[in-house]
């Protein structure tokens, strides 16, 4: 699905959709995303007016509230050309797979949304599809494992590509996580609405993380990163959970010869 298709021309300019969470809670992830893209020779534009795709309200059932926010997203991003990159599989899935449902009463808007969605890529999807999973060869010493965030895996279809990207980093000792494709229990508002169930699911995940023994857990969605890190901190564990954009950006910085592989 997202193999390196070398016949596709490599984009040299994209628009970043930060996602509301990265924008306000985790700007580091956003900066790392920009650094990764620039390393690949891609110029990154940022639309100052962006806020949210509408997913939080949509997933909670409040479509009347999600609708104008999503419509605003479409209005904003249809004004720019070329690929849109977001460091979140969940937000990518909202725009690509669920705007059709949200806008089902408005065929014209649904159609416009689809055209925006067709240009929207999740970060690791974008990198692996246009540049290949071996395009970033930095170095980062340490042990790491990878959790497969649900929406990136099942809605966007990115599975092993991020792992290939991680194993391409010098000094990074990768060991696969048991039940890597099982949910961490985040689920947006679900994590707050039903914290007991959300945490029981998380506990299973954290048991496997601790059994894995890696000092770093890599994931590609900020919500899942916070769910796992928040739980590990509460357990008193020193394991760090980081967004893949940060690992890649850090590896690039650590690399001796940061040259663009094009």
Residue 47 or 137: which CB sits closer to another protein? Answer: 47
Among positions 4-43, residues that touch another protein (CB under 8 A) are: 18, 20, 22-27, 30-31, 34
Residue 142 or 195: which CB sits closer to another protein? Answer: 195
Phi, psi of 214 (to 5 degrees): -70, 150
CB of 78 to another protein, least distance (A): 17
Taking CB under 8 A as the criterion, the residue among 4, 59, 167, 254 binding another protein is 59
Residues 236, 239, 240, 244, Cα dihedral to 10°:
-140
CA dihedral sign of residues 132, 52, 81, 42:
negative
Estimate to the nearest angstrom the gap between the alpha carbon of 193 and the chain centroid.
23
Query: How far apart, in whole angstroms, are the C-alpha atoms of residue 78 and residue 116?
Result: 6
Residue 125 or 155: which CB sits closer to another protein? Answer: 155
Our finding on whether 101 is near another protein (CB under 8 A) is yes
Answer whether 22's CB lies under 8 Å from 46's CB: no
Our finding on whether 183 is near another protein (CB under 8 A) is yes
User: How many chain residues are in contact with another protein, going by CB under 8 A?
Assistant: 66
What six digits make up the tokens of 171?
Answer: 């000094």
Residues 9, 152, 210, 175, Cα dihedral to 10°:
-30
Q: Which residue has the tokens 């000092």?
A: 215
What six digits make up the tokens of 102?
Answer: 């949200």
CB of 209 to another protein, least distance (A): 14
Query: How far apart, in whole angstroms, are the C-alpha atoms of residue 15 and residue 30?
Result: 12
Residue 21 or 169: which CB sits closer to another protein? Answer: 21
Among positions 104-133, residues that touch another protein (CB under 8 A) are: none
Residue 191 or 216: which CB sits closer to another protein? Answer: 191
CB of 234 to another protein, least distance (A): 6
Task: Look at residue 13 and give its three-state secondary structure.
Answer: strand
What six digits make up the tokens of 153?
Answer: 């895996």
Taking CB under 8 A as the criterion, the residue among 9, 49, 108, 238 binding another protein is 49
The footprint of another protein (CB under 8 A) covers 18, 20, 22-27, 30-31, 34, 46, 48-52, 54, 56-66, 68-69, 72, 98, 101, 150-151, 154-155, 181-183, 185-188, 190-202, 204, 226-227, 229-231, 233-234
């Amino acid at each position: 699905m997202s193999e390196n298709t070398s016949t596709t021309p490599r984009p040299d300019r994209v628009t970043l959709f930060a996602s509301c969470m990265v924008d306000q809670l985790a700007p580091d992830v956003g900066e790392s995303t920009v650094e990764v893209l620039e390393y690949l020779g891609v110029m990154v534009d940022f639309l100052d007016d962006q806020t949210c795709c509408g997913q939080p309200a949509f997933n909670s059932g409040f479509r009347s509230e999600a609708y104008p926010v999503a419509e605003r997203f479409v209005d904003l991003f249809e004004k720019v050309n070329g690929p849109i990159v977001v460091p979140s599989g969940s937000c990518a899935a909202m725009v690509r797979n669920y705007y059709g449902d949200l806008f089902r009463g408005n065929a014209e808007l649904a159609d416009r949304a689809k055209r925006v969605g067709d240009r929207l890529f999740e970060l690791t999807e974008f990198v692996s599809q246009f540049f290949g999973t071996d395009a970033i060869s930095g170095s980062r010493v340490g042990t790491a494992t990878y959790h497969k965030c649900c929406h990136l895996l099942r809605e966007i279809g990115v599975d092993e590509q991020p792992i290939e990207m991680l194993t391409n980093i010098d000094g990074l000792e990768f060991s696969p996580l048991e039940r890597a494709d099982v949910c961490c229990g985040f689920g947006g508002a679900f994590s707050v609405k039903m914290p007991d169930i959300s945490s029981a699911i998380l506990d299973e995940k954290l048991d496997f993380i601790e059994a894995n023994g890696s000092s770093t857990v890599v994931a590609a969605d900020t919500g899942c990163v916070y769910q796992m890190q928040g739980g590990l901190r509460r357990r008193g564990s020193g394991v760090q959970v980081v967004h893949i954009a940060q690992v890649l950006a850090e590896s690039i910085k650590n690399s001796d010869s940061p040259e663009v592989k094009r």
